[in-house]
Structure 1
Amino acid sequence: MKNTEPNLLGITINHRSMRGDARRFADVTRAIADGSLPGTPGRARAIQQYLTSLCDGIHHHHQAEDDVLWPVLRETAGAEVDLAELTDDHKQLDPLLDRVRAEATALAAAPADRAAAGRLSDTLATLRDLLDEHIDDEERTVFPVIRRYVNHDQWQQVENAVRKGSKIGFELPRIERYATPDELADLRRTAGPVLLLMLAAVRPGFARRERVIFG
């Protein structure tokens, strides 16, 4: 029998990874600003590269929601869902993501500038707080509507839109980082050996960058 229930595991882990990365990069840049972690050129470049990919991924995620998920919900749930506040959050995100990119680039250009690290940390803390509030609201209000009104095929269209344009080499090891063992087991059952092969290919590079950034 064909499964008609939307599987929200992927979006749940994606949300968790965005929140977790905003939090830990706010912390690591604060450590640079405080002088408790050296602001080396290699560390600053790795932070800039990671945050650029993170900001691109967050933008892509909420753009896919605006362009694909929200229309599906309006069609299937109608008055049962109010997306106005979540859409306003998305509009606030883009200029904040631009600030993160610009401040990360400034830090890469001046790795020893503790004030630059402090500005980036403050912006990341703002991003962290906005993501926490936005994702809590979305999962509380929208996830029940998805489960009630959206079928498996419609949800597959949404997930395909999210995957399109994603940076697999960046996203996959973050899934492994933020998923629980049970969630990873579910993903492996769904994706099969392909997931294991892809993870094996991208894991070493991700681990090297983690060591450069966090020590």
Structure 2
Amino acid sequence: MDTPDLTGIRIIHRAMRGDLHRLLTLAEDLDAGRQRADAARAAAIARFTEDICAAIHHHHTREDEAVWPVIQRSAGAAVDLTDLSDDHSELDPLLDRVRLAARAFTSGRDGISELEATVRTLSEHLDEHIEEEERRIFPIIEQYVSAVDWKALEKSLQSGNVRFELAWVDQYADPDEMAHIRKIAGPILGLLLTLVRPGHRRRRRLIFGS
């Protein structure tokens, strides 16, 4: 049995964690007065936060509905996903709190403290969850799940926000990973990244200043 290629999910995990870390640092700076946000920047921050939350929600929901059943069927008694599923059940209330805080922030600076607090809680929870998932479950996937099954599952993890996910790949894939993905995807990936990159960079400059 060929070994599943976990490159894609590793990049997405890294991107979710990395963007939450960057968002938390920004919220801390705004709350402390080290940076300021006019209406346009505040709206961009809120929309960016919503996009991250939507991607995280889709990812963990598809793991529960599609990925976990295949792992359990393939690995049997070799895997217990109970605690990871419990972690997932805690995510949606956290995501809802972050969304509400982001929307409140657009109405004035007073909302930044709540956004900072909720993003910190979500980021810490997701860091711990992903570290545990990659440590315990990735070796199980590689040992028991077929490459064909994993490829089908990986497609189900894609959120449908293609531009956002391509921007994540462009930003968070290391050179070896990018070369690997380009080899699999072919020339179309380079074309898509070229189309997505300018808008993504403008958005990042507005939100993060770089």
Task: Using structure 1 for the length normalisation, give the TM-score.
Answer: 0.95
Report the Cα distance in structure 1 between the residues aligned to 2:16 and 2:182, rounded to whole angstroms.
21
> Which of 150, 153, 177 is the matching residue for 1:155?
150
- Any gaps of 5 or more consecutive residues in structure 2? none
Report the Cα distance in structure 1 between the residues aligned to 2:153 and 2:119, rounded to whole angstroms.
28
Residue 180 of structure 2 aligns to which amino acid in structure 1?
D
Structure 1 counterpart of 2:84: 86
Q: Give the C-alpha shift of residue 42 in structure 1.
A: 1.3
Question: Deviation per CA, 1:178-197, whole angstroms, max 9, x where unpaired?
Answer: 11111111111111111111
SS at match of 1:77: helix
Q: Give the C-alpha shift of residue 39 in structure 1.
A: 2.0
Residue 211 of structure 1 aligns to which amino acid in structure 2?
R
Structure 2 counterpart of 1:22: 20
SS at match of 1:109: coil
Q: Give the C-alpha shift of residue 109 in structure 1.
A: 2.0
Report the Cα distance in structure 2 between the residues aligned to 1:116 and 1:43, rounded to whole angstroms.
14
1:140 aligns with 2:138: no
Question: Deviation per CA, 1:125-171, whole angstroms, max 9, x where unpaired?
Answer: 111110110001000110000000001111012111112x4201111
Structure 2 counterpart of 1:173: 167
Report the Cα distance in structure 2 between the residues aligned to 1:109 and 1:200, rounded to whole angstroms.
35
Summarize the alignment of residues 61-210 of structure 1 with structure 2, pairs less than 5 Å apart: 61-110=59-108, 113=109, 115-163=110-158, 165-210=159-204
Residue 28 of structure 1 aligns to which amino acid in structure 2?
L
Q: Give the C-alpha shift of residue 122 in structure 1.
A: 1.1
% of aligned pairs identical? 45
Q: Give the C-alpha shift of residue 118 in structure 1.
A: 1.5
Structure 2 counterpart of 1:59: 57
**Contact 1:96–1:123 (CA under 8 A) maintained in structure 2:** yes
SS at match of 1:65: helix
**Contact 1:188–1:196 (CA under 8 A) maintained in structure 2:** yes
Residue 186 of structure 2 aligns to which amino acid in structure 1?
G
Question: Deviation per CA, 1:46-71, whole angstroms, max 9, x where unpaired?
Answer: 11111111100000001111011100
Please tell me the root mean square deviation across aligned C-alpha atoms, in Å. Answer: 1.0
**Contact 1:57–1:166 (CA under 8 A) maintained in structure 2:** no
